[in-house]
Amino acid sequence: MTEDIKEGASLKNNQTSFCVHAPNATKVELCLFSDDEKTETRIPMEKDDSGKWLKSIDCNLEGKKYGYRADGTYAPESLLFFNPNKLLIDPYAYEITKSLYNVSTKEKEMFRSYCDADTSFIAPKSIVRFLDKKTLAKKYPYLYQKPNIEWGKNHIYELHVNNFSKLHPDIREEARGKLEGISLLVDYFKQLNYNQIELMPITPTMSDWQLEKDKGLFDSWGYNPITHHAVDPRYGNIYDFLELVNTLHKHNIEINLDMVFNHTGEFAANDFLLSYKGLDARSYYRYSQFDGHSFINTSGCKNGFNPNTAKAADVIRSSLTFFADVCGVDAFRFDLAGDCALDENLNFQPQSNFVKIIKEVSEKTGVKLSGEPWSAIGGYFLGEMPDIYEWNDRHEKSLRKFIRGEKGQVNTLAYYMAGGEVKNKVNIFTKHDGATMYDWATYHEKNNFENNENNVDGSNDNHYSPSRDDEERLTKTNTAHALNTLARGVPLSLSGDEILHSQGGNNNGYAKSFPLQWQNLTPIQKEHYMFERKVNAFRQAHQVFSSVENASSEIMPNGTPSWEWVNIYGYPMEKHDWDFQDNRFLAYVLNGENKEGKRFDDDFVVMTSGNPDGEMYVKLPRPPHGGRWQLVFDTSKPSNHKDATRYQEGANYILKPHSLAVFTSKRDDEQKNKALSNTLLSLMQYKSR
């Protein structure tokens, strides 16, 4: 049955077969290219009853460059864009020859759907690749040995391949800005205790119209995919990616891919003709039911990919299965997942076709799922996507407002520190779209003028907290990282924040390169790096902080709550404490005992000040198991600060503005206390005899 033939290029009995879906085309040609791409051989394909075009060649064409030309009616009013002058990428190709992330305006004009110019000289060619799992397992022995880390133990590190490694002095020149460069820095991730590396989009992308190459503007982030199975050549090829996955798995680190299925880089109907649109626009895009031809712009990027169609759904399923099953990927993050979950009437559906597809892939491969629970057209669905881990920007805003000193934020901060409305929550303080941590603590407002959009792009809702000096800036950034890392949920950290990387106030770095500056770090950059290492290691070492469940005040067998809010005097919070709008102090006690009465961790108290005006004198609460408190860290003090003081219940502690302090009462202290009590009891019994 031709319906069962796999799309793309496949090999069987030394015969290479090509299959592409274009039901409304009158003619499709398979175009084979010489290695230097100067010679093109066009081979007519045959159409079957299901709308697929097929051609088999009696040899193994591994590594051969190819593309498709689809002919037929050109009628945009009917969503028909057939133009045989345009060389089209195979949507199922595992590799292509060149990137379009940085192309000239002249080249963009040539890619226009209505332009008669032949694009074979500038268009990417697809490359035939046959990837066999048995062969790959031999070449990459750790590829399929997935770490399978519990979500609660994950700490995600979001990075941009080029920006992260472009200027790193420990990477040889030819590997900088590439996937290979990431492989060479695996020890860096281990030092910082990041065990899930999330790559911003690595699939091939297309530069948008407003990004003018001669002004240094290009699609840096890569959120405009033109195919979903390949790696953008600016970062390397599929084998470089397999090597990266293998290396990370060898060191027990997971890899997470940021995937974009809400729109593509073909943009509006009269824009670029690169792949999907030139084959069968109706099968891949959302379009108006009123006029029958206008693309529906659900994503803010001039089109909407439509997961509700059979063909678009197949692309999503095939892409995710390829990366998870064949390439060993551990997790996916979905850009505008809420947009993908819209039905044909643009209504959000928690069990949409998209959600069903990604759950199906997850169940088959074990891959983890996370994403943004909102849509660019205005829908906000936080808490309504229970099957994936949701990025929580309300958590982000809450932390920012509190740290910078806004009044009336204690209740909201407590809500999100305890988990908020989402059980499966990804905690974010900074991310790729927004100000870096350093810029948040430095600037008064965004500075995006270099993006050539008159500073209207990028979020205006940043809650900046400009600092008076480096000491205050360091305290704020330390506190920001600590609060985000210790909150209930899975913490995510933005690449570069650990060295207080700045983008000069640009909070929408999609159009320019902002490579991390690794050399000549200032004292506060070095100090913040050491602090992040300390806090990350601390979270990994203590289960009480790595729970993804919402916190509760459930009473443990020893008679104290598992999580208890306390006021500045060390007593349990009461209604008047919560209602006091001028309160800018929050603290909670964690009981390291489980429901069975077993001590699985130490006891802790976490306290933080959002008071910008001066120090706060705080009394320490009673430890759940008795004993005394000992300082673990204070964000206003150096990361190597040592405090041997054993603080008893009711002891005073000075909390500086914008700071956070964590104290512990250890399990071994309890054992020592019991041993001492038993010794004293024995002595008393001996004397009584």
293 confidence band (pLDDT: 50, 70, 90)? confident
Q: What is the CATH number of domain 563-674?
A: 2.60.40.1180
3-state secondary structure 456-470: CCCCCCCCCCCCCCH
Q: Is the pLDDT of residue 376 over 60?
A: yes
Question: Tell me, what's the pLDDT at 622?
Answer: 97
* DSSP at 506: -
Q: What is the dihedral of CA 311, 316, 319, 322, to 10 degrees?
A: -100
The CA–CA distances, whole Å, from 321 to 131, 194, 361, 390 equal 13, 25, 6, 21
670 confidence band (pLDDT: 50, 70, 90)? low
Residue located via tokens 């593509």: 264
* Contact of 593 with 557, CB cutoff 8 Å: yes
Q: Give the separation between CA 204 and CA 220, rounded to whole angstroms.
A: 11
Burial 226-246 (b: 16+ CB within 10 A, else e): bbbbbbbbbbbbbbbbbbbbb
**Least confident range of 67-71, 88-92, 150-154, 670-674:** 670-674
Q: Give the separation between CA 541 and CA 277, rounded to whole angstroms.
A: 51
The 8 Å CB, 24+ separation contacts for 551-555 are 551/417, 551/418, 551/419, 551/488, 551/588, 554/595
Q: Is the pLDDT of residue 471 over 50?
A: yes
327 confidence band (pLDDT: 50, 70, 90)? very high
Beta-sheet strands, E only, within 99-239: 126-127, 156-159, 196-199
The CA–CA distances, whole Å, from 232 to 9, 100, 111, 131 equal 19, 9, 18, 18
* Contact of 11 with 2, CB cutoff 8 Å: no
6 confidence band (pLDDT: 50, 70, 90)? confident
Question: Tell me, what's the pLDDT at 422?
Answer: 83
Question: Tell me, what's the pLDDT at 674?
Answer: 52
Beta-strand pair 331-334/40-44? unpaired
The helix (H) or strand (E) run that includes residue 619 is: strand 616-619
Question: Tell me, what's the pLDDT at 683?
Answer: 44
Q: Span 572-589, mean pLDDT?
A: 96
Higher pLDDT, 123 or 668: 123
Q: Give the separation between CA 92 and CA 6, rounded to whole angstroms.
A: 9
DSSP conformation letters of 245-260: HHHHHHTT-EEEEEE-
Beta bridge partners of 494: 158
Beta bridge partners of 29: 44, 69
Q: Give the separation between CA 314 and CA 255, rounded to whole angstroms.
A: 23
Residue located via tokens 């210790």: 486
| pTM of the full structure | 0.95
Amino acid in position 133 = K
Q: What is the dihedral of CA 101, 102, 106, 112, to 10 degrees?
A: 10
Residues 397-456 have pLDDT tens digits of 999 999 999 999 999 999 999 999 888 999 999 999 999 999 999 999 999 999 999 999
Q: Span 621-633, mean pLDDT?
A: 97
Q: Is the pLDDT of residue 672 over 90?
A: no
Amino acid in position 522 = T
Question: Tell me, what's the pLDDT at 686?
Answer: 43
Q: Give the separation between CA 243 and CA 247, rounded to whole angstroms.
A: 6
- The residues near 188 (Cβ < 8 Å, ≥ 6 apart) are none
Amino acid in position 62 = E
Cβ neighbours of 148 (radius 10 Å): 10
Residues 488-545 have pLDDT tens digits of 999 999 999 999 999 999 999 999 999 999 999 999 999 999 999 999 999 999 999 9
Q: Is the pLDDT of residue 56 over 80?
A: yes
Average pLDDT for the chain: 94
Residues 76-118 have pLDDT tens digits of 999 999 999 999 999 999 999 999 999 999 999 999 999 999 9
**Least confident range of 9-18, 470-479, 543-552, 630-639:** 543-552
Q: Span 597-602, mean pLDDT?
A: 95
Count how many Cα atoms sit within 13 Å of the Cα of residue 161 in the half-sphere of its side chain: 30
Residues 130-167 have pLDDT tens digits of 999 999 999 999 999 999 999 999 999 999 999 999 99
3-state secondary structure 260-294: CCCCCCCCCCCCECCCHHHHHHHHHECECCCCCCC
Q: Span 210-223, mean pLDDT?
A: 96
Question: Tell me, what's the pLDDT at 222?
Answer: 98
* Contact of 524 with 474, CB cutoff 8 Å: yes
Q: Give the separation between CA 430 and CA 476, rounded to whole angstroms.
A: 13
Q: Is the pLDDT of residue 1 over 50?
A: no
